[in-house]
Structure 1
Amino acid sequence: MGDAPPPPLMVAHDSQKHARPSPHGAEANAAGRKPKGSVTQQFLGVFQYSRRAVELVWTSSKLLTILIAALTLIAGLMPAAGAWIGREIVDAVVAASAAVSAGAEPAFTLVLGWVALEGGVMVVLAASQKGLSVCQSLLRAMLGHRVNVMILEKALTLQLVHFEDSEFYDKLTQARREASSRPLSLVNRTFGLVQNAISLTSYAILLLAFSPWAVLVLVLGGLPAFLVETKFSGEAFRLFRWRSPETRKQMYLETVLAREDYAKEVKLYGLGPLLLQRYREIFSLVFAEDRGLTLRRGFWSFTLGLLGTGAFYGAYAWIAVETVRGHISLGEMTMYLLVFRQGQSAVAASLSAIGGMYEDNLYLSNLYEYLDQPVGSEPGVELVGPKPGDGVRFEGVSFTYPGATMPAIDNVTLHLVPGQSLALVGENGSGKTTLIKLLTRLYEPSEGRITLDGLELSAWDPAKLRARVGVIFQDFARYQMLLGENVGAGDVEYFDDEARWREASQLGMADTFVTDMPDGYRTQLGRWFKDGRELSGGQWQKVALSRAFMRTAADILVLDEPTAAMDAEAEATVFEHVRNLTADRMAILISHRFSTVRSADHIVVLDHGKIIEEGAHEQLMANDKRYARLFTLQAEGYR
């Protein structure tokens, strides 16, 4: 074919990739998000996705979300309750020891009662923590599936032009990586923040009895580590978005090196070591960036974390001195030290949760930017046209691929009526396949319009329009499914109908080799799954032809190089089937074999997207121009 743009994912060797600009400057903003407003506004702005994430988790499982909330509340209250009971235990032990020293009866019952109560609190705490773990694990699986389904559902609504855009592939890659885990992570952090807030409130109440300054020291001690973690979370995210093309190149190289459809050429041409070296180079580049970030993050986290440690031991000394002075009891000292240590952990966990929520929101922005991707105009709703039997009209149609400077189709006008066959002829890149993609609404014209039965294609209901078209492209899909399902894919309503498989396979001549398959139409094709069988190129092409013939209700049959892998006799048989089927239908043929093209009712010769000749075979031969010259050259080759 050659008239479609190159695939969006190209593995070109970039000898200058080590000299790329840093992701921390303006280039990073171009690849990621351009900062606007103050630092505070930027920080708070990314939390816009929190509400959507919570809604997503809630709709995934209301029961599990409620259970997590309840268990979070319990887990938040138990540590402070344990610390308070610990104080009572120590004071009860001190009082009992004093009673023994005074020769009185010690209050063992009181001591043991407090111990039993603390044991019960610890059991409840352990149960709530284990329950949280179980609920989060179940919700993680459900949410991961839900997000992946949302991503795939969105993919079904996108136009072909999106999938031919490398920047879109970056966005899709970013959305799929970590997107399934980030919503639950965000909600878990939110619940964790609530849990720590509850714990901190209870700790603060206990510490206020000692000194309000102790509460202030507790809070301020964790701020430095929080600030450094937040800074590096943002930096890690910018790095993540900046290197999406490298990630895709690695994924592509893995596919080339480990897939059966590439294995033959990789081995025969000795490409393995070369491609593996490129894979290593990409890893080295990515790892160097990760290593630098990790080392900086670790150094500053440790250095500023020492401030929090210093704050704790300063408070430790303060409490110890107050105990020695007799201002607080031994039990109170034990409680305050425990509360301060646990409080410091809760402050650190709270600030870490906020930083983590910030990071989660950054990654969720990828998911929601993908899900919010515009999909173009609203689909039409019409089921019939105002002029039944008018057929297909191209009226001044032009189309230019995004990013291209020259149109692939330039001012094309033609008319195809029922009962007529049309052949498209031209060199690779002349626009033949692009014309078919416009007819099937895989692309929208840049200029002009295309009508069916007098109604513009954009006004047709997409499902109804595509039900009227049976098409096989040269680069047809080879599904790793059952042989019959590969045929049935041509009409989803009869996807599992074996009788229809057989009828279509007879027309597409796939039935000639199905009898040789171990399980007939139930044979697994491809090598990805157990007992899969591989077909030859010609056999696959017959399967694809049969797929096109599945649409018995279609009145437009499009065959784009459908017999390139077949011999001349098989090709003649296929087109005989096509002629028999087009008594009241329209057929569009693309072929490089002029023995096939000459039988069409109308022939259009394309060059660089423009129609340069059209007419019947005899008329074009009499004109003695491009068509006649190509036909003569090919005919001489068979003499």
Structure 2
Amino acid sequence: MNPRRARQPSDKPELARGFLGVFAYSRRALELVWTTSRPLSIALAVLTLLAGIFPAAIAYVGALIVDAVIAAIQAAPADHDALTSHALTLVVAEGLLVAALAGAQRGLSLCQSLLRAQLGQRVNAMILEKALTLDLAHFENSEFYDKLTRARREASSRPLSLVMRTFGLAQNGVSLLSYATLLIQFSGWAVLVLVLAGLPAFLAEAKFSGAAFRLFLWRSPETRMQLYLETLLAREDHVKEIKLFGLGPLFLQRYRDIFHKLYREDRDLTVRRDTWGFFLGLIGTAALYGAYAWIALSAIARAITLGQMTMYLMLFRQGQSAVSAILSAVGGMYEDNLYLSTLYDYLETPVEENAGTTVRGPQPDDGIRFEHVGFTYPGAETPTLVDVNLHIRPGQSMALVGENGSGKTTLIKLLTRLYQPTVGRILLDGQDLREWDETALRDRIGVIFQDFTRYQLLLGENIGAGDVQHFSDEARWREAGEKGMATAIVESLPAGYRTPLGKWFNEGRELSGGQWQKVALSRAFMRSRADILVLDEPTAAMDAAAEATIFEHFRALTRDRIAILISHRFSTVRMADQIVVLQDGRIAEHGSHDELMQLNGHYAHLFSLQAKGYR
């Protein structure tokens, strides 16, 4: 299934449409925590159970203490010492229970801290692992970037939050059950009042949780723009232009404007949420003090003892807190489920399976063929390539010429199977690229794009990136560096191939644009297995003489390989065996330099204009 044609999961999940989906992701979050650390999960469960039981036990012992003290005061002298000793024993017992409760709560805090670190890393790793499986089309889609931003900003912290709310729900549920067991001895109606009093505030909280999530979904593009503006203002590769053109204050003001817009939305939601929460919370307060009056009047009427009155008052207060915590936990679980839906929406992004298994084609001497290839970018109306037919054999070189946007780089993306043709097919050694094993195919191709990555790593690792199997092989670094004409750069640096490049880390050295391009060229030669080498404007930062020298060197090193060059300098292009001129995604002219000059068409016109500029 092609992910670009498949129905993408909605950015407004079904979960957000109703409260019935509150537990939709709870099971998955629990499984995630369990598989992250079973010992910590078991410890959390046990400590949660104990933390739920101890408060009721403390309240019960407290009631016994009050009654024991009153009994000792009213007792005859002969029984006074025994009753006093009993009261003190109960005090010690309550102290031990309080200490045990404090230990359970500390243990819960410790388990949460340890799990938070492990689970945060686990979820972020899951997000990055998924990114490795995605197609280039996903990363060139703005809606997908919004989905990725949402997953990385919120969902990485939500699984633990959901699990802790689940454990908190269980803890308070155990507490409430133990409270109700004691409170029902006073009146079943008291238990009912206890539960119903917290519902209004809970319903309001659930409503505003959904509103907060919808707000989170809608403003993902603005959040991403804020992150982009931060990058522009705080990265060394942008600061020169930002300062030169005086763009800093403009971009900073735009950053502030986005913040103020988002702040106003947050403020309005928070004010409404807290206002409703306050007034609806008064219902619970009224219920609490109504119960106080009821219990006090029962004690005055001698229907219960003073110890029982103390216990019931404590049970009702703590019971109301437990009900409030339970309802808050359920509301929080609803909110966490909403945010977790964005994580799993991202993790379940459909990806086309690579079904190819071919590692060797039936016609090794046939090289590369493009047969009636056309391509349209996802979401675009105009095709980028139309009916492209090409053939290049081993030992031949081809140059692609055309204006920016004519489809040159897109053609390379199709060859490396970063994209698949919309129509037509591409063959390597007589075998359709779709049927090739992806790893085997890419082992055959060494590519340096115009916008190659400048890794903030060692110089040698920048070269070694061209072949991950030999990423740290210094002998291969030197060999590739010599082929890419980077030896002079290496000799000028204090630690040679072990010199850090870039300015992000200590002792890093920055290179000139031309030096970086020689490093990138060496990276292409790192993959010695590759018999197809593609250079997409890799020498744009060099002068014409240096570029000509490099391409002459490149041509000598690729005599038995397929070489594809993209360049705007025709003094270099003329070296190729065949030249393809692209216009508006179509092949306008095709032939050798001499043939195209005789044709006196678009290529001859461009060549003459450029040659005139050098005179």
TM-score, scaled to structure 1: 0.93
Residue 496 of structure 2 corresponds to which residue in structure 1? 520
CA contact (8 A) 2:15 2:341 kept: no
> 2 CA distance for matches of 1:329 and 1:626?
105
1:115 correspondence with 2:77: no
Residue 6 of structure 2 corresponds to which residue in structure 1? none
1:218 correspondence with 2:190: no
> 1 CA distance for matches of 2:329 and 2:574?
72
> 2 CA distance for matches of 1:468 and 1:339?
74
1:504 correspondence with 2:484: no
Distance 1:611 1:104, change over 3 A: closer
Q: 1:602 is matched by which residue type in structure 2? A: Q
Q: Secondary structure at the match of 2:254?
A: helix
CA contact (8 A) 1:32 1:242 kept: no
Structure 2 unaligned spans of 5+: 1-8
1:281 correspondence with 2:257: yes
1:244 correspondence with 2:220: yes
Distance 1:59 1:30, change over 3 A: closer
1:345 correspondence with 2:325: no
1:305 correspondence with 2:285: no
Q: Secondary structure at the match of 2:105?
A: helix
Residue 153 of structure 1 corresponds to which residue in structure 2? 129
1:300-321 CA distance string (max 9 Å, x none): 0000000000000000000000
CA contact (8 A) 2:405 2:584 kept: yes
Match of 1:88 among 46, 56, 64: 64
1:241-299 CA distance string (max 9 Å, x none): 10001100100001101111111111111101111110111011100000000000010
Q: 1:585 is matched by which residue type in structure 2? A: R
CA contact (8 A) 1:430 1:607 kept: yes
Q: 2:118 is matched by which residue type in structure 1? A: M
Query: Paired residues, what number?
Result: 607
1:549-592 CA distance string (max 9 Å, x none): 10111000000012111122322222122222222210000011
Q: 1:603 is matched by which residue type in structure 2? A: I
1:442 correspondence with 2:418: yes
1:321 correspondence with 2:301: no
CA contact (8 A) 1:99 1:105 kept: no
Q: 1:570 is matched by which residue type in structure 2? A: A
1:424-476 CA distance string (max 9 Å, x none): 01111110000000100111111111111111112111111111100000000
In the TM superposition, 1:2-401 aligns within 5 A as: 32-33=12-13, 42-99=18-75, 105=81, 107-401=83-377
Match of 1:631 among 607, 610, 615: 607
Q: Secondary structure at the match of 1:552?
A: coil
1:489 correspondence with 2:469: no
Residue 15 of structure 1 corresponds to which residue in structure 2? none
1:127-156 CA distance string (max 9 Å, x none): 111001001100010000000000001001
Residue 621 of structure 1 corresponds to which residue in structure 2? 597
1:49-69 CA distance string (max 9 Å, x none): 111111111111111001100
CA contact (8 A) 2:13 2:341 kept: no
> 2 CA distance for matches of 1:236 and 1:395?
52
Residue 19 of structure 1 corresponds to which residue in structure 2? none
Q: Secondary structure at the match of 1:78?
A: helix
Q: 1:32 is matched by which residue type in structure 2? A: K
Structure 1 unaligned spans of 5+: 1-28
> 2 CA distance for matches of 1:129 and 1:269?
57
1:41-94 CA distance string (max 9 Å, x none): x21225221111111111111110011001001111000110110111010001
CA contact (8 A) 1:97 1:106 kept: no
Once structures 1 and 2 are overlaid, which stretch shifts more, 567-576 or 248-257?
567-576
Q: Secondary structure at the match of 2:60?
A: helix
1:380-428 CA distance string (max 9 Å, x none): 2221112222211111111111221111111101111101101101111
> 2 CA distance for matches of 1:570 and 1:367?
49
Distance 1:104 1:350, change over 3 A: closer
Residue 5 of structure 1 corresponds to which residue in structure 2? none
> 2 CA distance for matches of 1:456 and 1:192?
57
In the TM superposition, 1:445-456 aligns within 5 A as: 445-456=421-432
Distance 1:35 1:185, change over 3 A: closer
> 2 CA distance for matches of 1:289 and 1:250?
16
CA contact (8 A) 2:446 2:524 kept: yes
Q: Secondary structure at the match of 1:605?
A: strand
> 1 CA distance for matches of 2:560 and 2:485?
22
Q: 1:305 is matched by which residue type in structure 2? A: G
> 2 CA distance for matches of 1:343 and 1:380?
62
Q: 2:514 is matched by which residue type in structure 1? A: G
> 1 CA distance for matches of 2:395 and 2:324?
77
Q: 1:299 is matched by which residue type in structure 2? A: T
Residue 545 of structure 1 corresponds to which residue in structure 2? 521
Residue 531 of structure 2 corresponds to which residue in structure 1? 555
> 2 CA distance for matches of 1:329 and 1:380?
81
CA contact (8 A) 1:99 1:106 kept: no
CA contact (8 A) 2:73 2:80 kept: no
Distance 1:419 1:202, change over 3 A: same
Query: How far did residue 193 of structure 1 move?
Result: 0.5
Once structures 1 and 2 are overlaid, which stretch shifts more, 76-85 or 46-55?
46-55
Q: Secondary structure at the match of 2:492?
A: coil
Residue 599 of structure 1 corresponds to which residue in structure 2? 575
Query: How far did residue 531 of structure 1 move?
Result: 1.1
Q: 1:306 is matched by which residue type in structure 2? A: L
CA contact (8 A) 2:22 2:333 kept: no
In the TM superposition, 1:572-591 aligns within 5 A as: 572-591=548-567
1:93-142 CA distance string (max 9 Å, x none): 01001016899545111001111111111111111110010011000100
Residue 403 of structure 1 corresponds to which residue in structure 2? 379
Q: Secondary structure at the match of 2:373?
A: strand
Query: How far did residue 509 of structure 1 move?
Result: 1.1
Q: 2:248 is matched by which residue type in structure 1? A: G
* Superposition RMSD in Å: 1.4
CA contact (8 A) 2:406 2:584 kept: yes
Q: Secondary structure at the match of 2:70?
A: helix
Q: 2:98 is matched by which residue type in structure 1? A: M
CA contact (8 A) 1:488 1:547 kept: yes
TM-score, scaled to structure 2: 0.97
Q: 1:488 is matched by which residue type in structure 2? A: G
> 1 CA distance for matches of 2:193 and 2:169?
20
Distance 1:34 1:57, change over 3 A: closer
CA contact (8 A) 1:228 1:301 kept: yes
Q: Secondary structure at the match of 2:391?
A: strand
Q: Secondary structure at the match of 2:370?
A: strand
Residue 422 of structure 1 corresponds to which residue in structure 2? 398
Q: 1:474 is matched by which residue type in structure 2? A: Q
- Which aligned runs of 4 or more in structure 1 are off by greater than 6 angstroms? none
Query: How far did residue 379 of structure 1 move?
Result: 4.0
Once structures 1 and 2 are overlaid, which stretch shifts more, 510-519 or 433-442?
510-519
Distance 1:369 1:254, change over 3 A: same
Query: How far did residue 232 of structure 1 move?
Result: 0.5
Q: 1:622 is matched by which residue type in structure 2? A: Q
Distance 1:104 1:426, change over 3 A: closer
